[in-house]
Amino acid sequence: MGELAAVVGIGQTKYASRRGDVSIAGLVREAAGNALEDADLGFKDIDAVVIGKAPDMFEGVVMPEIYLTDALGANGKPMLRVHTAGSVGGSTALVAASHVQSGTFRRVLTVTFEKQSESNAMWALSSPQPFSVHLNAGAGGYFAPIIREYIRRSNAPSDIGIMVAVKDRLHGARNPLSHLNLPNISHQEVEDSMMLWDPIRFLEACPSSDGACAMIIANEELVSESPKPPAWILGGAMRSEPTIYAGRDEVNPRAGRDCAKEVYAQAGISNPRRQFDCAEVYVPFSWYEPMWLENLGFADQGEGWRLTLDGATSLDEGGDIPWNCSGGVLSSNPIGASGMIRFAEAARQVRGDADQHQVENAQLALGHAYGGGAQFFSMWVVGARKP
Amino acid sequence: MGDTNKETIDSIEAPIYLKYNFTAGLAPARFLSHLKKGILTGQRCPKCDNVYVPPRGSCPACGVATETEVVLGNKATVQSFTIVSIPIPGNPIEPPFIVANLVPDGANTSFIHLMSECVNEEVRIGQRVTAVWKPEEEWGFAMDNIRYFKPLDEPDIPVELIGHLSVNGEEG
């Protein structure tokens, strides 16, 4: 992995369905400014900028990184754009980390964003092509049949998804940055919400959010220049696979399993459920919690739903492996930033800086993102202790 | 300066219209040419023998070109599906409707298509269906020459055989 690197600053915006008070430039500037403040640094202390977002078609701004250089203090500095669909927030963080781990730069600013209120994701993701019928009912329409197959295979009780939807919103109610604030959400309310793409109900799906997330990643030498405890990067990996190939397991994608295996090997993880104190995992539709519990090795095949059922992933129920204490993608979803929020929230936990959604004495956390047709994966492991 | 009562304008609507030509490439061009004649085809991977539909010119698992055409039947099996309750922008289909992942007999991959002439609540994984084509005079170079798939009066296929039926619907 090269040289040691750590997260020394984290900045997020407030997530909302519409941030009409800022432009895209204002949005990323807000996150970057918050991260610099958190690290007690200024733009002059940054050697390079790594930026990511979901497809340009969303907001219709082509190569927005060029227009955003001023807002990010990147004039005259190396800047790189990362694009890996919905997993981009995670892979952008990993690219930024590698800028430091390689020894090329000493301190890097990384930012991701989405302004869904100025975009049309459904349109951007479904341009008609003649070899396929034009039925793309958004991401929910794509993932619903995969979830149906998971339920068939695992024989999970039909309300596991509802339980995840409630749990992540209760977590989100602890997080003042969260887009959705639903402290009184009930099982019945989720169950009664409209079935959009059977078996996905309205309240089992993520919201559309505006927002940005930023981090400052520094090398070992510069870590002490920032006042707060660092989150040491103990491992990072990306894997991808084609959307379609004969024999592909869409429920339990190999790229996800391989990515977890690699990042665990780097960080010395042999039993993720026992060794991690918490995890921030990309769960845009409720059923992806049990599916990823299995894909990431927190549970055996077909058994992931039992952890949800037992409250193992719930902060409120005192679970042993809380997932998405920040509220997760189900509470805030500025798509391009959603992966980086997972990585940043994992880092906040091991820095002991997660306020009302802090897991007590968290030492080791997993950040995870996925994208495309569940084919792009990025993950990192962060820890409180210097390796 | 200074009528402070004026409403602040923080954004304007500026829709983007994008017109583009689709360049099919060699393999999809052959596929689309067959569709124009009312024939559904796949292409076989020379290495793993799997048949891809719609063919995109290669087997991503083996990283080789798929050059052999395979004529597929009209029958298919439901691999999975969703009942969609919200309209698709710009599409006249009225919800609720079924979008299914279907594997045609003789192919090893699925595509999505509409199901109709069915009771939504009775659609199931492993169900047998058949293609309903548009009238011949409406056929173009497009997958929607097939209007939808409808249920067949045949026994369901065991899950482990989905994606592994020969072109005449038999195991193997």
Phi first, then psi, for residue A231 (nearest 5°) are -110, 110
User: Residue B81 corresponds to which tokens in the numbers above?
Assistant: 């599906």
Taking an 8 Å cut-off on Cβ atoms, the answer to whether B61 and A245 are in contact is yes
Range of the domain at A101: 5-120+208-225
Residue A304 lies in a domain: no
How far off is chain A from B153, nearest CA to CA, in Å?
23
Q: Which chain B residues in 8-27 lie under 8 Å from chain A, judged by CB atoms?
A: 10-11, 16, 18, 20, 22, 24
- The CB density around residue A150, as the number of other CB atoms within 10 Å, is 25
pLDDT score at A60: 86
Nearest to B91 among A20, A134, A199 (CB): A134
Phi-psi region of B90 (alpha: psi -120 to 50; beta: other; left: phi over 0): left
Q: What residue type is assigned to position B118 of the chain?
A: C
Q: What is the token pair recorded at B157?
A: 């296929």
Across the strands, what pairs with B82?
A: B99
387 residues of chain A, pLDDT tens digit each: 589 999 999 999 999 999 999 999 999 999 999 999 999 999 999 999 999 999 998 998 999 999 999 999 999 999 999 999 899 999 999 999 999 999 999 999 999 999 999 988 777 877 788 888 887 667 899 999 999 999 999 999 999 999 999 999 999 999 999 999 999 999 999 999 999 999 999 999 999 999 999 999 999 999 999 999 999 999 999 999 999 999 999 999 999 999 999 999 999 999 999 999 999 999 999 999 999 999 999 999 999 999 999 999 999 999 999 999 999 999 999 999 999 999 999 999 999 999 999 999 999 999 999 999 999 999 999 999 999
Q: Could you tell me where the DSSP H helices lie in A102-159? A: 121-124, 138-154
Number of domains in chain B: 1
Q: What CA–CA distance (Å, rounded) separates A359 from A177? A: 17
A204, A163 contact by CB (below 8 A): no
A242: chain B residues, CB-CB within 8 Å: 60-61
In the predicted model, is pLDDT for residue B20 greater than 90?
A: no
- List all residues of chain B from 42 to 81 with a beta carbon under 8 Å from chain A: 45, 48, 50-52, 54, 56, 59-61, 79-81
Domain assignment present for A108:
yes
Pairwise CB contact (< 8 Å): B82 & A130 = no
pLDDT of amino acid B3: 58
Q: Which residues pair with A216 in a beta bridge?
A: A9, A109
Q: Hey, are the CB atoms on A148 and B51 less than 8 Å from each other?
A: no
| Residue A57 structure tokens | 């078609």
Q: Is residue B77 part of a domain?
A: yes
Q: Is residue A375 part of a domain?
A: no
Q: Within an 8 Å CB–CB cutoff, is residue B100 touching chain A?
A: yes
So what's the ipTM on this one?
0.93
Q: Is the dihedral of CA B1, B2, B6, B11 positive or negative?
A: positive
Q: Which domain holds residue B47?
A: 26-161
A195: chain B residues, CB-CB within 8 Å: 83, 85
Please give the pLDDT value at position A200.
Answer: 97
Residue B13 resides in a domain: no
Q: Which residues have CB under 8 Å from B108's CB, separation 6+?
A: A246, A247, B50, B51, B52, B163, B164
Alpha-carbon separation of residue B73 from A259, B40, B106, B124 (angstroms): 39, 7, 7, 21
Residues 6+ apart with CB under 8 A from A48: A77, A78, A79, A80, A99, A104, A105, A108, A109
Query: For residue B167, is it within any domain?
Result: no
CB of A65 within 8 A of CB of A314? no
Give A60→chain B minimum CA distance, Å.
7
Q: Mark A280-303 as b/e (b = at least 16 C-beta within 10 Å).
A: bbbbbbbbbbbbbbbbbbbbeeee
Nearest to A27 by CA among A210, A176, A215, A217: A210
Asked whether the predicted pLDDT for residue B95 surpasses 90, the reply is yes
Query: Residue for token digits 């505006």?
Result: A210
| CB neighbour list of residue A143: distance below 8 Å, 6 or more residues apart | A197, A200, A284, A285, A288, A374
Question: What is the four-CA torsion angle of A202, A126, A375, A369, rounded to 10 degrees?
Answer: -50
Residue B87 lies in a domain: yes
Supply φ then ψ for residue A129, to 5 degrees. -130, 140
B50, part of any domain: yes
Q: Is B28:B123 a contact under the CB 8 Å cutoff?
A: no
> Does B98 reside within a domain?
yes
List the CATH number of the domain containing A98. 3.40.47.10
Phi-psi region of B105 (alpha: psi -120 to 50; beta: other; left: phi over 0): beta
Which DSSP letter does residue A155 get? T
Residue B124: closest CA among chain A residues belongs to which residue? A148
What's the pLDDT band for B2 if we cut at 50, 70, 90? low
Whether B155 and B133 have beta carbons less than 8 Å apart is answered as no
Rg (CA), chain B: 21
Residue A385 dihedral angles phi and psi, to the nearest 5°: -95, 135
pLDDT in tens, B27-76: 999 999 999 999 999 999 999 999 999 999 999 999 999 989 999 999 99
* Contact assessment for residue B84 and residue B114, using Cβ atoms and an 8 Å cutoff: no
Domain count, chain A: 1
Instruction: Find the CB nearest A246 among B20, B61, B146.
Output: B61
Distance CA B81, CA A256 (A): 23
Domain membership of residue A33 (yes or no) is: yes
- From the list A60, A132, A194, the residue facing B143 with the nearest CB is A132
Q: Give the C-alpha separation, A356 to A335, whole Å.
A: 24
